[in-house]
């Protein structure tokens, strides 16, 4: 009996141990399953949050990174620094005084032949037509030169004194004399001069077709048809101290050095709808130009070049110019042309 009980107790103990081990294993399995389920839920929640964040990021537009423009290379450079320089308003031809001699070039670097002239370059006034096909050199005499011919042709016109300013288009020559009067020569014929009751003329241009004369005194703009000059002129209020007149078939633009632009309709300049635009400047305008359709006004101010919307006056600095500009013009396709005091020329890509 005692042996039976001992064996029976051993069996009970063994089954007890088996039961305990099974219970521990079962409990551990349940606990592990619960922990696994919790961990899985946490991972699922994290995945859902990350997916939501990715969706939100996908809707946010990445900031555009503008590539920094490389400095422009000069399209042409004079061999020596010019003492005086003029560029056609169409931006295609230049005339310079270098070593006390006149030289002329196209902006592609091709030299343009000039005739012999009995004139002192440093004392002369000179100008180019918009297209660069005509030039005038004026001191005591005026030489009207047709460029692009071999040899170039010239016509000599007698002038009493070196003018303050000169403009030429289509064989029409306009000059402001030292006493502030306006003189016109059309096809070599000297017309009667015009004087103003509002003061000396400061600036004059002939329009690109050689049909209209625009001249300005302080506060006043005068206009004539060439065939009527000096009769039948028109007079309009303009800026106080005009330094520039530009025109297109649609507009006439007058500017002063402080950034005030007056814009007139070319076909009805007396209209009260003329536009006054003011450019915000840090310093005065040194030199300026108007594009072909008179929508953009480019200027040099404070050793920088700017392009201005004629209607709004909003200006944008020209940042691709690597050197200090002193002059600006527009090419026939409205590309911007800039140049330096050393005679380096640059052109915008568009």
Give the DSSP per-residue string, 218-243. TTEEEEEETTTTTSS-EEEE--SSEE
CB 174 within 8 A of CB 212: no
The contacts of residue 76 (CB under 8 Å, 6+ apart) are: 105, 107, 108, 109, 344, 345
What pLDDT was estimated at residue 141? Answer: 83
The contacts of residue 252 (CB under 8 Å, 6+ apart) are: 214, 221, 223, 245, 246, 263, 264, 265, 266, 269
What pLDDT was estimated at residue 267? Answer: 80
CA distance 74 to 96: 17
From first to last of its 350 residues, what are the pLDDT tens digits of the chain? 544 445 555 555 555 554 555 554 455 554 445 555 556 666 566 556 656 665 655 554 444 333 445 678 999 999 999 999 999 999 899 999 999 999 999 999 999 999 999 999 999 999 999 999 999 999 878 899 999 788 889 999 888 788 999 999 999 999 999 999 999 998 878 888 999 999 999 999 999 999 999 999 999 999 999 999 999 999 999 999 999 999 998 899 999 999 999 999 888 777 655 789 999 999 999 999 999 999 999 999 999 999 999 999 999 999 999 999 999 999 988 899 999 999 999 999 87
Among 243, 220, 221, 218, which residue's Cα sits nearest to residue 300?
A: 243
What pLDDT was estimated at residue 63? Answer: 40
The answer to pTM > 0.75 is: yes
- Which residue carries 């056609």 as its tokens? 88
Quick one: 342 exposed, middle or buried, by C-beta within 10 A (0-12, 13-18, 19+)? middle
Give the bridge partners for 165, in sequence order: 176
Retrieve residue 87's tokens: 């560029």
Give the strand order in the sheet containing 203-206.
203-206, 212-217, 220-225, 234-237
Torsion angles phi and psi, residue 229, rounded to 5 = -55, 135
What pLDDT was estimated at residue 160? Answer: 75
3-state DSSP assignment of residue 288: strand
Among 184, 141, 190, which residue's Cα sits nearest to residue 162?
A: 141
Task: Output DSSP code: residue 194.
Answer: B
The CA dihedral of 95, 99, 101, 104, to the nearest 10 degrees, is -30
């Amino acid at each position: 009996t005692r042996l039976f009980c001992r064996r029976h107790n051993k069996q009970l103990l063994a089954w007890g141990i088996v039961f305990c081990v099974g219970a521990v294993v079962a409990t551990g399995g349940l606990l592990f399953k619960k922990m696994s389920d919790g961990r899985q839920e946490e991972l699922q929640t994290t995945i859902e949050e990350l997916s939501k964040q990715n969706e939100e990021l996908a809707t946010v537009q990445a900031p555009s990174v503008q590539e920094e423009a490389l400095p422009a290379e000069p399209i042409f450079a004079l061999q020596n620094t010019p003492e005086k320089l003029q560029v056609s308003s169409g931006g295609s031809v230049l005339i310079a005084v270098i070593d006390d001699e006149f030289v002329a070039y196209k902006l592609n670097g091709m030299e343009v032949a000039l005739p012999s002239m009995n004139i002192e370059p440093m004392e002369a006034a000179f100008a180019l037509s918009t297209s660069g096909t005509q030039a005038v050199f004026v001191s005591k005499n005026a030489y009207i030169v047709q460029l692009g011919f071999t040899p170039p042709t010239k016509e000599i016109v007698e002038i009493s004194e070196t003018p303050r300013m000169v403009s030429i288009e289509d064989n029409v020559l306009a000059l402001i004399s030292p006493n502030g009067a306006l003189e016109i020569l059309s096809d070599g014929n000297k017309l009667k001069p015009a004087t103003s009751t509002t003061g000396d003329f400061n600036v004059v241009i002939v329009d690109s077709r050689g049909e209209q004369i625009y001249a300005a005194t302080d506060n006043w703009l005068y206009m004539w048809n060439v065939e009527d000059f000096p009769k039948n002129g028109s007079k309009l209020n303009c800026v106080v101290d005009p330094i520039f007149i530009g025109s297109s078939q649609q507009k006439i633009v007058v500017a002063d050095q402080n950034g005030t632009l007056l814009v007139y309709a070319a076909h009805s300049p007396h209209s009260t709808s003329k536009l006054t635009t003011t450019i915000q400047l840090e310093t005065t305008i040194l030199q300026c130009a108007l594009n072909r359709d008179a929508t953009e006004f480019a200027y040099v101010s404070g050793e920088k070049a700017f392009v201005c919307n004629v209607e709004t006056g909003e200006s944008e600095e020209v940042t691709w110019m690597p050197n200090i500009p002193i002059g600006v013009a527009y090419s026939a396709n409205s590309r911007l042309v800039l140049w330096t005091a050393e005679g380096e020329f640059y052109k915008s890509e568009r």
